[in-house]
Structure 1
Amino acid sequence: MNTNKRQIEERGSWERKAEFLLAVAGTVVGLGNVWRFPYLCYRNGGGAFLIPYLMFVVTCGVPLFLLETAMGQFTQQGAITCWRHLCPLAGGIGYAGQLKVVYGCMYYIIILAWALFYLIYSFSSQLPWASCDNTWNTDGCVNLAAKNLTINQTTLVNTTPAAVEFWERRVLSLSGGIEEVGKIHWEILLCLIVMWIICYFCIWKGVKSTGKVVYFTATFPYVMLLVLLIRGLTLPGALQGIVFYLYPEPARLADPQVWMEAGTQIFFSYSLCSGSLISLGSYNQFNNNCYRDCFWLCLLNSGTSFVAGFAVFSVLGFMAHVQGVPIEEVAESGPGLAFIAYPQAVAMMPFPQLWAVCFFIMIVFLGLDTQFVAMECVITSVMDLFPGVLRRAGRRELFLLLFCLTCFFGQLIMVTEGGIYVFQLFDYYASNGACVLFLSVFESLAIAWVFGAEKMSDAIEDMTKSRPNYIFILCWKYFTPLVSLGFFVYSMVKYRPLTFKNWYVYPDWAYALGWLLALSSILLVPGWALGQMCAKKGSLKQRWRHLCSLNTNLPLSSKKPAEIQDQTFTAEIDDLVSSSTN
């Protein structure tokens, strides 16, 4: 048995197809499906928003989803090393995607710590965000869940709801700005430690443990979502909320911002250009039908987003009905929905503790599998980069521990009194939609025009025995890069500096830090290409051809996975690696 074969066996694979499907479902179905899509839908034309959304599903979402999954399955490599087999010149795309995932791991798990904190308090005899009798409440606090409370516009303007005070004064201990870091919130820190420990043990044995954990973490949120959906639809005012969610406003389609937000939602909710799909696909058997899997997983993702809108807006409709205010005054997106609007709504229901527990369990599990699968993808990519060092017994666990500790100590500032400002900085810049769009352009161009769209289609046919529809080739070559480039330019033209709650303006140094986070991933793409061109020997034309044509000897045979190359191709790869490291 040759060395390469032994390396494939050591790397591991999914024991069952269901493990792959659930792992991908876990990473693509996350908090954005619950708190971002419904809000975007109502804000951007209701049912009319589905028109640009579905157009981008067809032209960008599904084609890139299939492309990335197939890249991993064909090369049997993670998000970084797969480019050695496809287009070495574009290797910076892999590094950039993994850097974005690391940034995401650092701030995304903070949301899970907040959710765990809320979940613990949901077992209280009285929900703390449904009372103004706590030590953190101010004289201006008003309990909107109180019976016989007369609510009018003056009440809402001159007071602060109890749920808002719990969020800002108890959970965040909000300071006056990013300059005022303040002290560490030790209770949130403990919740954060718990979440890191859970994530560590979910993936510490690689796909052997990840594949088992996702059976529960990827399915249980759907049980909670179904429970909350049924409960929401039975509440008074639910129909009003659903109509508000879906009522079409065709005139909004003339606004470019609507199309921009539809496209950005696709890239985020499908986890595109992060390398996650490549890494997860790399653990598939070579002849797995990723072509069919792609359609089912994309349908699951978009379907979950759509159904979650009913669960969310039925409850917000009830909240608006009880308060006697328009729904737009209670509808929020992001953390504002999960930690203010929805908790306030459940506080108005009978048995509020029950519905609060259901909701925050759903939030924890929705975010949990997204977090640990993202961590698994980073670990996979780095281990494939240094297999001789990290695939020895016990090395994976130590490396994973080092990764967790590095992220943990790097994010400690986010659990301070000024932590929410740093959190928003990471969310707005490090995971900026423009970065994803930039990577999408170069990923599409590298595969479609350098490796070859037809060759990738041949590879998919060789693996699945089904040739992709020609529309996929058109998307890879033309539609996806053009749409992504157009969005990227538009996002730069329409750039607006980050603010907090529309009243706090960040200092200039914070904006500079934000752009540094954004550019750190963007510049890796041209930087890597330039570095490789300089490292190789020969004329400029020879270097270009060598770095763009290493794929010529890729075997197309279901009996020979792409990782088991012939001796000529292996020699070329080794030559590339040695020249880049020298």
Structure 2
Amino acid sequence: MDMPPKDRAKKKEEPMDAELTPGKRNINLTSLSWGFKTREVRITKIPNHFQVKKTENVLILVAFSIGLGSMWRLPYLCHQNGGGSFLLVYLILLMLLGIPLLYMEMIIGQWLRKDNMRAWRYLVPWLSGLGYSSMLACVLVSLYNSALIAWSLFYLGQSFDFPPPWEICPMVENISVTDIPCLRTLPHQYFWYHTTLHASIQIEEGIEVLVLYLTLCLAATWIFLYVIMTIRIKISMLMLIFSIFFPYILLLCFFIRSLFLQGAMASLRRLVTTEMSVLSSLDTWRQAGGHVLYSLGLGTGTVITFSSYQTRGENYIKVASFMATVNLVTSLLSTSIIFLVLGFWTATSGPSCVERNVSNLVKLITKGVLPQSALPPKDIIYKPPLEYLNWINHLPRNLQAEVVHFSLSCSILVQKEKFMEGPGLAYAAFSQAVSLFPGSSFWAIIFFMALAIMGMGTMITLLEGIVLPMQNIPTFTRHPKLVPVFVCMGGLLGSLIFTSQSGSYVVFLFDDLLVPMVLIVIVMFQNLSLAWVYGIRRFRAEMFGQLGHLVWAPFNFLWSYVTMPTLLALFTFYLLNLYHRKPLYYISWNDSMSQEVKQPYQQIVLGWVTFLSVLALLPIPVYPLHRWWYLDNQVICEIVGKPASSKKTETEPNKANQWAMHPLRRLTLRAQDKGQEHPSKNPTDALFLQPPPLWLKRDSESYSSFSLRGSTIGISYT
């Protein structure tokens, strides 16, 4: 049966945005005078497949928020930026940005009941590219997060040795002066850079050489993720609770044990001390703002997608605050442990380390493990630490190897306060923490297993934010099981670069420059779309109609006048940091010197950052241009095909010049025209069919400047 011409015209008008779902909808499309369109969507019937238990969903979001971002990222950022000063900046931005924007994404998902890609297509059709950019940002985060899981799996495999290989210096054949870096630094740091990463000295070197065992761990990660997403294992409530509380138990054990370490309290004091010079640093604010968005998953679309599967009536202010609080507590606990370990490393380095090693060698000689020729000079502990290294260098080769192998986990050279600033700080520090317990291999196994499980949980949530929207694309609708295949295969190939000899430097490049800047731009456009394009007062009216309660007034103020300027300032900081004349540096490992050094980024590396960021953000401007071109051609075709004269067109008023009618009033007129019964007989529609109150009449005349002069077209689907 052919469609009437009028309905065909409506069908052509929205080729990509009109979607039919179960239940009755009234969709009000507001078209602005310059072509911008926004929607008002009212759903009176919720499909059953959207219903998810409230407690289960909250636990999923909490498990996502306490992932690797809390235990891996914040500690090394805090160590780089002055400890307590960075924490203070992070707390400020968490209150001003994190919780309001997290609540915004949650309430959008609950309101529209759609995944991230379709939500922005429904809310602001001209900014539908936001969903695609969020998905690309999710891809970037997933790529280097898979490398973190591969590192955890490698540490897990090494934990089955007793003692774990990072506790002692490895036996080195043909040892020479340059082959004793384990005595110049800590065994844990040496194991990280030399054994785990085989790190090159520059990011441009060794990028084509893959580390075999890290590549195998990465392949195992993506295969496991594919199996989980294909068979869709049902995660029980007990498994969710265990995955959340078990890491807390381990962290509390490590924290209590680390409190009794030598020099631990001095380092903990640094964690709670603020310096005004650090607070005035733009780089500190830049990194803190990027971490707020990254740790809460803002801009990746996962929060909107998972919130769309909720039952209505939840208090998302409490959920957002609880999620941010759990994230903060986890970050503070893991950061405190790492700072305690850093204090122990600093206190036991230099002369103290020489004294401990001499005492250990005397005990081994007394037990007969080492010969008498390995006895150090009596006055060696009163000399500079380099004298101890010179004594080892003059020993016979076979005796050198044994002395180095039995050396304690401390550094002969004096360490500075900022020791080990790279992203591997958490792995080295936690490997030291598990070494403090008797039966360290057992503690290492359960800790790195928990770390890998937490990383897998975060990755599954991120991949669901990619797979679910893609399965709604017409190309994959008939074969939805192919989507996980393409996603996991592409993820494996795209993340191979992180298992190269310079892979850790590429991880730092993504984590410090690329991903936070992309997330800030995406969240900035999301805030702009809701607060200024759609209109914050109009949004409040919709929330009152759909959810039965108003959005908390302080959040309306923050969305309109605080979060947007703050995001613009952070984006400006990132641009200044990236394109300033002063060169950018990253932390690399110099194997000959056995220490970390600062290396400047080459221009070609920063060019790749620019290219990838533009590529991820390209859908935002491309989609409006495509839609403008499509609608412009459609209007020309309609004008050419229109009859020369028509009484209807002569008497029809010009809708483009009319003021927007309030949605509640329009529904009232529509109901009266159709001759419906009194709204009191239908409790569900009573809220929408009664005359609007005075405050809504005032709000309808003061929408945002983008929606004042729009024409209104009423479309009903049954």
Q: TM-score, normalised by structure 2?
A: 0.67
**8 Å Cα contact 1:105/1:375 also seen in 2:** yes
- The answer to whether residue 30 in structure 2 is matched with residue 5 in structure 1 is no
**8 Å Cα contact 1:178/1:506 also seen in 2:** no
Using the alignment, how far apart are the partners of 2:661 and 2:577 within structure 1?
40
Using the alignment, how far apart are the partners of 2:290 and 2:603 within structure 1?
27
Deviations 1:343-377 (A, max 9, x none): 24544665432443344234323322111100011
Counterpart of 2:272 in structure 1 is 246
Letter in 2 for 1:170: T
Q: Among 226, 231, 248, which residue is 2:257 paired with? A: 231
Deviations 1:378-411 (A, max 9, x none): 112222344xx6456xx44332122111211222
Using the alignment, how far apart are the partners of 2:111 and 2:416 within structure 1?
49
- Using a 3 Å threshold, how does the CA distance of structure 1 residues 230 and 373 change in structure 2: closer, same or farther? same
Counterpart of 1:147 in structure 2 is none
Counterpart of 1:534 in structure 2 is 629
Within a 5 Å distance, the mapping from 1:159-170 to structure 2 comes to 159-170=184-195
**8 Å Cα contact 2:64/2:461 also seen in 1:** yes
Aligned partner of residue 166 in structure 2, secondary structure: helix
- Using a 3 Å threshold, how does the CA distance of structure 1 residues 345 and 490 change in structure 2: closer, same or farther? same
**8 Å Cα contact 1:37/1:309 also seen in 2:** yes
**8 Å Cα contact 1:66/1:291 also seen in 2:** yes
Q: Which moved more, 1:211-220 or 1:280-289?
A: 211-220
Structure 1 residue 464: Cα displacement = 5.1
- The answer to whether residue 333 in structure 2 is matched with residue 307 in structure 1 is yes
Letter in 1 for 2:251: L
Structure 1 residue 268: Cα displacement = 1.6
- The answer to whether residue 486 in structure 2 is matched with residue 402 in structure 1 is yes
Aligned partner of residue 274 in structure 1, secondary structure: coil
**8 Å Cα contact 2:116/2:304 also seen in 1:** yes
- Using a 3 Å threshold, how does the CA distance of structure 1 residues 45 and 302 change in structure 2: closer, same or farther? same
Deviations 1:460-512 (A, max 9, x none): 44555443321111111121111110111122112254545255455544332
Q: Which moved more, 1:464-473 or 1:347-356?
A: 347-356
- Using a 3 Å threshold, how does the CA distance of structure 1 residues 221 and 333 change in structure 2: closer, same or farther? farther
Counterpart of 2:499 in structure 1 is 415
Q: Which moved more, 1:492-501 or 1:398-407?
A: 492-501
Aligned partner of residue 128 in structure 2, secondary structure: helix
Q: Among 90, 96, 99, which residue is 1:53 paired with? A: 90
Structure 1 residue 204: Cα displacement = 3.2
Aligned partner of residue 130 in structure 1, secondary structure: coil
Structure 1 residue 208: Cα displacement = 4.8
- Using a 3 Å threshold, how does the CA distance of structure 1 residues 134 and 348 change in structure 2: closer, same or farther? farther
Structure 1 residue 226: Cα displacement = 2.3
Larger radius of gyration: 2
Within a 5 Å distance, the mapping from 1:239-318 to structure 2 comes to 239-318=265-344
Letter in 2 for 1:224: L
Q: Which has the higher helix share?
A: 1
Counterpart of 2:651 in structure 1 is none
Q: Among 319, 325, 339, which residue is 2:427 paired with? A: 339
Counterpart of 2:169 in structure 1 is 132
**8 Å Cα contact 2:300/2:465 also seen in 1:** no
Q: Among 565, 589, 594, which residue is 1:482 paired with? A: 565
Structure 1 residue 303: Cα displacement = 2.2
Counterpart of 2:591 in structure 1 is none
Q: Among 213, 226, 236, which residue is 1:200 paired with? A: 226
**8 Å Cα contact 1:136/1:165 also seen in 2:** no
Structure 1 residue 445: Cα displacement = 1.0
**8 Å Cα contact 1:33/1:269 also seen in 2:** yes
Within a 5 Å distance, the mapping from 1:3-402 to structure 2 comes to 4-5=21-22, 12-13=49-50, 15-41=52-78, 43-134=80-171, 139=176, 140=178, 159-175=184-200, 177-204=203-230, 208-209=234-235, 214-323=240-349, 328-330=417-419, 332=421, 334=423, 336-344=424-432, 346-347=434-435, 350-386=438-474, 390=476, 395-402=479-486
**8 Å Cα contact 2:53/2:311 also seen in 1:** no
Structure 1 residue 266: Cα displacement = 1.3
Letter in 1 for 2:525: F
- Using a 3 Å threshold, how does the CA distance of structure 1 residues 327 and 22 change in structure 2: closer, same or farther? farther
Within a 5 Å distance, the mapping from 1:479-518 to structure 2 comes to 479-495=562-578, 496-497=583-584, 499-501=586-588, 502-518=597-613
Aligned partner of residue 141 in structure 2, secondary structure: helix
Using the alignment, how far apart are the partners of 2:661 and 2:622 within structure 1?
20
Q: Which moved more, 1:129-138 or 1:412-421?
A: 129-138
Counterpart of 1:443 in structure 2 is 526
Deviations 1:411-432 (A, max 9, x none): 223323343444444434541x
**8 Å Cα contact 1:189/1:415 also seen in 2:** yes
Aligned partner of residue 269 in structure 1, secondary structure: helix
**8 Å Cα contact 2:116/2:301 also seen in 1:** yes
Using the alignment, how far apart are the partners of 2:78 and 2:504 within structure 1?
26
**8 Å Cα contact 1:14/1:283 also seen in 2:** yes
Aligned partner of residue 417 in structure 2, secondary structure: helix
**8 Å Cα contact 2:70/2:334 also seen in 1:** yes
Q: Which moved more, 1:397-406 or 1:504-513?
A: 504-513
Letter in 2 for 1:71: I
Aligned partner of residue 235 in structure 1, secondary structure: coil
Aligned partner of residue 77 in structure 1, secondary structure: coil
Deviations 1:237-279 (A, max 9, x none): 3322221211232443233333333322212212111111111
Within a 5 Å distance, the mapping from 1:463-478 to structure 2 comes to 465-478=548-561
Structure 1 residue 203: Cα displacement = 3.5
- Using a 3 Å threshold, how does the CA distance of structure 1 residues 183 and 320 change in structure 2: closer, same or farther? same
Using the alignment, how far apart are the partners of 1:202 and 1:163 within structure 2?
33
Letter in 1 for 2:631: K
Using the alignment, how far apart are the partners of 2:416 and 2:546 within structure 1?
50
- Using a 3 Å threshold, how does the CA distance of structure 1 residues 56 and 215 change in structure 2: closer, same or farther? same
Using the alignment, how far apart are the partners of 1:558 and 1:482 within structure 2?
42
Q: TM-score, normalised by structure 1?
A: 0.82
**8 Å Cα contact 2:79/2:421 also seen in 1:** no
Q: Which moved more, 1:71-80 or 1:433-442?
A: 433-442
Question: What percent of counterpart residues are identical?
Answer: 26
Aligned partner of residue 128 in structure 1, secondary structure: coil
Structure 1 residue 83: Cα displacement = 0.9
Aligned partner of residue 520 in structure 1, secondary structure: helix
Structure 1 residue 201: Cα displacement = 3.6
| Aligned residues: CA RMSD | 3.6
Using the alignment, how far apart are the partners of 1:210 and 1:451 within structure 2?
39
Structure 1 residue 102: Cα displacement = 0.7
Using the alignment, how far apart are the partners of 2:661 and 2:501 within structure 1?
52
Structure 2 stretches of 5 or more lacking a match? 1-18, 25-44, 353-413, 589-596, 637-655, 668-681, 686-712
Letter in 2 for 1:171: T
